[in-house]
Amino acid sequence: MATLLIALFALTAVSLGQDSDEGCSFRETVYPRERIPIRDEASHTGEHVRLTVPWETLNIIGTKPQGIRCWLQVQDGWLIESDSALSSNPPGTAAQRASAATGACYQFDIAYVAGNMNIRARASTNSRVVARARFGDVFAVSGSIAGADWCWLQIAGGWLANTSRVRSTKPAQPVFTSAGPPPAAGMTIEGSETFVAQINAALDFLRSRAPQWYAYVTRGPRKIAEVRPPAPDGYATHDHFFISSSAANNPSHLVAWLMVHEACHVQRSLAGLFAYDTAKEQDIEEYLCDHVAHVSQQQVDFGRLLMAYTPSQVAHLMQYGKLEQRTGTGSILVSYLPGKVRQWLLEGIDFFGMLRTEMARADHLLG
């Protein structure tokens, strides 16, 4: 009986949405400027179905007035009508470019960051910070809107203020005291102009901050290629790897760690060490390359490697499950031993020896 009542309620909601259009300004199609919730009924208390993708095409199949607002019915459910969150024009149209006050106020597809900046949940300095952008990060811009203070750029995962730290062309890189070797001859980057710029920004970050891991990524893999969603963020073949366009749109340091992870698979494959036939082998391989990426991150954050555990440190991890190390910056890094790694060590699988092998390989490639 309960199931029947729920089904009847759902049918009633759809019926009301399709037949009660009075008071709604009907639009055939809308384009969300940001991620907004779609619900299973025309109510803020309705169950969350999914978030919209910025600038996806949503065809309106019904409406339902609610006070001075209107609910719009799309294929997946219902969303509230909002002039600020929904556009009647697709991105890049003449109508959108001509309306700088309410539409696009940034006329470029790429934004280069020339300093540390906050990425916010909404187009406002009062909105919460959801991520950080660093010097050299490159973002694909899917839309823009004029706010009370700045022109706000919509990027994957949030909004970036178009301050003096944002450029439409690549800014000059800051000077660092160390640099990695040139990429191996024949190493290429394949993809759109935006993707190539984003990968180069992540490589510049590695070269200046962790040169041995820059060498690890560029001296071995023969190609870094772009793939489109719904492909995974990254995956590798015997001698090259792929990064998705959505993953490349993250801040450069995050793209850098992803590239180190995928390069780990390639380096081990070229060395004849890659094993991926069983679920256990896959687990070990992914855990190992995750740890390799963490090591490269530690090199940037602390200036030294903290996961090259000695036999006594491994014994401490086995006994207590965690290890405390001073970072040299006045803080203490606490490492925990995952249950899977502990089991592998008990089985005689030298997980940390495998990790030290990849660390030594990066140092060797740096020369």
pLDDT > 80? residue 87? no
Q: Is residue 11 part of a domain?
A: no
CB under 8 Å, gap of 24 or more: what pairs does 226-229 form?
226/190, 226/191, 226/192, 226/195
**Do 73 and 42 contact (CB within 8 A), yes or no?**
yes
Mean pLDDT over 137-163 rounds to 84
Q: Is residue 281 part of a domain?
A: yes
In the chain, the number of structural domains is: 3
Query: Any idea which residue has 């301050």 for tokens?
Result: 163
Residue 258 has phi, psi (to 5 degrees) of: -65, -40
State both tokens at 350.
């030298």
H or E segment to which residue 86 belongs: strand 86-87
Query: Any idea which residue has 């600020």 for tokens?
Result: 84
Last residue of a domain, one of 60, 87, 114: 87
Q: Are residues 104 and 69 in the same domain?
A: no
Q: Are residues 66 and 110 in the same domain?
A: no
| Tens-digit pLDDT profile for residues 206-230 | 998 899 999 999 999 999 999 887 7
Q: Are residues 78 and 107 in the same domain?
A: no
pLDDT > 50? residue 232? yes
Residue 98 identity (one-letter amino acid): A
Q: Is residue 176 part of a domain?
A: no
Global pTM reads 0.57
d(CA 355, CA 365): 16
Task: Output 269 or 301, whichever has higher pLDDT.
Answer: 269
Q: Are residues 61 and 98 in the same domain?
A: no
d(CA 326, CA 320): 17
Q: Are residues 127 and 252 in the same domain?
A: no
| Tens-digit pLDDT profile for residues 304-339 | 666 667 888 888 988 988 888 877 666 777 888 888
Last residue of a domain, one of 167, 201, 219: 167
Longest Cα pair distance anywhere in the chain, in angstroms? 75
- How distant is the alpha carbon of residue 170 from its chain centre? 21
Question: If 0-12 CB within 10 Å is exposed, 13-18 middle and 19+ buried, where does residue 162 land?
Answer: buried
Last residue of a domain, one of 35, 58, 87: 87
Q: Are residues 80 and 117 in the same domain?
A: no
DSSP state of 55: T
pLDDT > 80? residue 297? yes
Residues composing the chain: 367
Task: Output 221 or 172, whichever has higher pLDDT.
Answer: 221
Q: Is residue 1 part of a domain?
A: no
**Do 323 and 338 contact (CB within 8 A), yes or no?**
no
> 339-346 and 311-320 are packed helices; what angle lies between their axes, rounded to 10 degrees?
120
Q: Are residues 162 and 206 in the same domain?
A: no
Q: Are residues 61 and 25 in the same domain?
A: yes
Q: Are residues 192 and 315 in the same domain?
A: yes
DSSP state of 114: -
**Do 344 and 354 contact (CB within 8 A), yes or no?**
no
Task: Output 295 or 67, whichever has higher pLDDT.
Answer: 295
Mean pLDDT over 88-110 rounds to 57
Which residues 6+ apart lie within 8 Å of 331 measured at CB? Answer: none
Q: Is residue 5 part of a domain?
A: no
Q: Are residues 122 and 216 in the same domain?
A: no
- Domain containing 98 — which CATH number? 2.30.30
Mean pLDDT over 74-93 rounds to 72
| pLDDT-based confidence at residue 96 (cuts at 50, 70, 90) | very low
Encode burial over 59-95: b for 16+ CB neighbours within 10 A, e otherwise. ebebbbbeeeebbbbbeebbbbbeeebbbebebeeee
Q: Are residues 204 and 299 in the same domain?
A: yes
Q: Are residues 259 and 347 in the same domain?
A: yes
DSSP sequence for 180-237: PPPPPTT-EEES-HHHHHHHHHHHHHHHHH-HHHHHHHHSS--EEEEE-TTS-SEEE-
Radius of gyration over alpha carbons of the chain, in Å?
25
pLDDT > 80? residue 66? no
Coil, strand or helix: which one is 16? helix
Instruction: Measure the CA angle with vertex 357, ends 326 and 236; round to 5°.
Output: 110
Q: Is residue 177 part of a domain?
A: no
Q: What is the pLDDT of residue 267?
A: 95
DSSP state of 108: -
For residue 157, give its domain range.
Answer: 94-167
